[in-house]
Amino acid sequence: MTTLQFADEQEYRASIREVRQDSSPVDWVLFGYENDKAQKLVSLGKGSGGINELATHLKDDIIAYGLVRKTDQIDDSTTVKFAFINFLGDNVPRMLKARVSVQQGAIKDFIGQYHVDINTSSRDEVTDAVLQEKIGLTSGSGSRVVNRDTGAREGANKGGRSTAAVNVKGATDLNFGDADALKSAIADVRSDSTPTDWTLFTYADETSNTIIQKSSGSDGVSGLLSNLSDDMVAYGLVRKIEKIDDSETVKFAYIRFVGEQIPRMLRARLGTHSGAVNAFFHPYHVTIEATEKSEISDDIIYKSIKAAAGTAVHVLPDQARPNVTQQWQPRNTGGTNTTNATTKAPVPKASLAGDQGLKYADESAIRNAIKEVRADDNPTDWALVGYEGDKGSTLVLNGKGSGGLEELRSHLRENAVGYGLLRTTDKIDNSVTVKFVFINWVGEKIDRMHRARLGTHKGQVHDLFAPFHVDINAAVESEVTADIVREKVQDASGSGSKVKH
């Protein structure tokens, strides 16, 4: 483990103890580096104004780590929660980000136990609203049960908690144009008494921070997709009714779509709105993030809901997989028709050669590397596959190793595509289980035509790496970190611990 250096370690540990003491007014502390060489930790401040006060000390060119104390109320009980803040400013040099990534374990040991973490490069995502949402999801105090007639969370007013929507105007220069109309559109999707099963919001124009409603409908995902284009950013809510045996349950999927033609600078600016928009749509069961229409479908939403609910069988032995009956029920609009689709879970193909023009440079090397990752008694815990040439359709083995995620990340390039499989572990009480993570890396500088062609490879590539427990889609290294992997695995397995170490 990397050894941390401190300007005054004794003083800093005392500050952390202050935050952890209920009787102390100090409820946050923040640390950073003495200079741009990131060799020694210094104190950036502490105070009693909560996370919003901490955020005023964050700048785009710094790396900072913080601890925040926050209270959470469930009915008449109040509990204390701690949040770890991991901030890497947008203007921090890439090499510096890479250098400090190896210190993550030591930093967390120094900070100590916490319940939730916020990993971000934007100060606008370090807010009380975002923190409260994370704590609510972790502790169960943020109810996911919705009054479908009003769109409000049932039970949210217990113990004096407000049912009013979070006021985010001005927090990120974000404005919800006609907020009442937008809330009404969401409430329609949530209501059993209306046929509306989706709604879609976007920005008033490409230079605006004002969100408006683009459309709503009762024709499901296909209707929502017809309103998307490559040059827009959109946020949507879809309502699905899942039928398992004779039981029907209502599920909601939040859609965040950032079209491929959105300029990089605009993409970064709109990224600061993420927390506020998420809170506006909350609650929902799953999030679907996409840059192209092919990444949004009934099947994808179905699989995401199954994974989040823990009802999906994620990993099976190397044998034929059973049929999975997927039954999506349409909105009840007075008719009696239902739609039942039986879908077979994919069985890995013997070869991808000839499928959508996808080929191998050395098929046995790729398949053997994947088998090594799956073998518990093999030290190899990751494998990465890419394309031969910048615009090719031939898969090659880019690397494999036993250094975990950090070693895999070192092989990712901004002008390349990579498909990776990572073996990790998840601990529930005293039981340790093996989990597999599929990483779909599409670097930011990929040629547009090559990016479009990748959509035709998606199904075959997934079959090559299947089965796996969770998948991560990333374009920058900050989207594939140890914290993100751990959170995804725990969300899928239901093992998310109330206190993280």
Residues 116-158: tens digit of each pLDDT = 888 888 888 899 888 887 777 655 444 333 333 333 333 333 3
| Distance from the Cα of residue 494 to its chain's centroid | 15
Residue-wise pLDDT for 286-301, tens only, equals 788 888 888 899 888 8
Lowest mean pLDDT among 343-352, 384-393, 452-461: 343-352
pLDDT for residue 345: 35
**Are the C-beta atoms of 68 and 28 separated by less than 8 Å?**
yes
DSSP three-state, residue 51: helix
Round to whole Å and give the CA distance between 288 and 307.
13
Domain 172-309 classified CATH 2.70.70.10?
no
Residue-wise pLDDT for 389-438, tens only, equals 766 778 999 999 999 999 999 999 988 899 999 999 877 656 677 889 99
| Distance from the Cα of residue 251 to its chain's centroid | 18
Q: Is the pLDDT of residue 19 over 80?
A: yes
CATH domain 9-139 topology? Severin (3.40.20)
Quick one: average pLDDT of 342-366?
57
pTM: 0.39
Alpha helices in 112-211 (DSSP H): 128-139, 179-190
9-139 and 359-493, same CATH topology: yes
**Are the C-beta atoms of 65 and 36 separated by less than 8 Å?**
no
Q: Is the pLDDT of residue 320 over 80?
A: no
Q: Is the pLDDT of residue 72 over 80?
A: no
How many helical (H) and strand (E) elements, i.e. helices and strands, does the chain have?
A: 15, 20
Homologous superfamily, domain 359-493: Severin (3.40.20.10)
Residue 487's pLDDT band, with cuts at 50, 70 and 90, is confident
**Are the C-beta atoms of 28 and 50 separated by less than 8 Å?**
yes
Q: For CA atoms 399, 403, 406, 407, give the dihedral sign.
A: negative
Delimit the domains of the chain by residue range: 9-139, 172-309, 359-493
**Are the C-beta atoms of 117 and 483 separated by less than 8 Å?**
yes
Residue-wise pLDDT for 237-284, tens only, equals 999 887 655 566 788 899 999 888 887 667 766 766 777 787 788 888
Round to whole Å and give the CA distance between 315 and 289.
23
Which residue type is seen at 466?
A: A
pLDDT for residue 213: 95
Quick one: average pLDDT of 49-76?
87
pLDDT for residue 322: 36
